[in-house]
Amino acid sequence: MGQGAEPRRVHAHDGELGAAVARAQQGDEAAFAAAYRLVQPGLLGYLRGLVGDDAEDVASDAWLEIARDLGRFRGDGAGFRGWTATIARHRALDHLRRLRVRPRPSALEQDVLDLPGPQSTHDQALEALSTERALELVRGLPRDQAEAVLLRVVVGLDGPAAARVLGKRPGAVRTAAHRGLKRLAGQLGAESVTDEGRRTLGEST
């Protein structure tokens, strides 16, 4: 059931990403550029959820650190996503400490949220995240839920990887993501124009 909420589009590229990272570690600049192209959209979406309009600057700082420490990375494509998300999160929290504001979800760019079509309650919520209204709803989630949804959906991490990024137990992150997606599905369902839309959103929890 947990797999149903996974962004298949992102995971489909993890083999390609792992191969690009391995080549980049041998000094292949084109391979590093390919890895960047595969990871940057999700990373930028995650950072937008944490630091809003400053996401581009924070992402640049994160990529400088990623490039510098690339030789120390060990793992596959999915592992690389988690590693880069951890670095990006640290840079975002440093940025927020400098601004002396608490992290809170803010608007996400629509092009980052090109998600698969509706299959279940979660997939309905994920698919609908590409709409402006849903972006407002994500912004309104409690921070732990918003960040769990961002890591699972936008960055494309599985539960254990998202937990490592957040420094929490996988169960806690899974619960936060589930509650966040369920709340989104409920809110989107409540705003449905027809009863049928409401039924579809509620039938496969």
Q: Are 95 and 58 in contact (CB under 8 A)?
A: yes
| The predicted structure's pLDDT at residue 202 | 39
- Residues 111 and 107: their CA atoms lie apart, in Å, by 12
Structure tokens at 172: 């806690």
CA distance 88 to 29: 21
CA 104 to chain centre: 15
Q: Name, in order, each residue with C-beta under 8 angstroms of 101's C-beta and a sequence gap of 6 or more.
A: none
Q: Which pLDDT value is given to residue 88?
A: 96
pLDDT value of residue 101: 53
pTM value? 0.69
For residues 109 and 48, the answer to whether their CB atoms sit within 8 Å is: yes
What is the model's pLDDT at position 155? 86
Secondary structure of residue 163 in the 3-state scheme: helix
**Largest CA-CA distance found in the chain, in angstroms, rounded:** 57
The two tokens of residue 43 are: 């990373």
Phi then psi for residue 75, to 5 deg, are: 150, -175
Give pLDDT, residue 136.
64
Q: What is the pLDDT along the chain (205 residues), one digit of tens a residue?
A: 444 444 444 466 889 999 999 999 999 999 999 999 999 998 988 888 888 889 899 999 999 999 999 999 999 999 999 999 999 999 998 998 888 755 554 444 333 343 333 344 555 555 555 544 655 677 678 888 888 988 888 788 988 999 999 999 999 999 999 898 888 888 777 665 444 443 433 333 3
What pLDDT does residue 198 have?
38
Angle at 160 between CA 16 and CA 39, to 5 degrees: 30
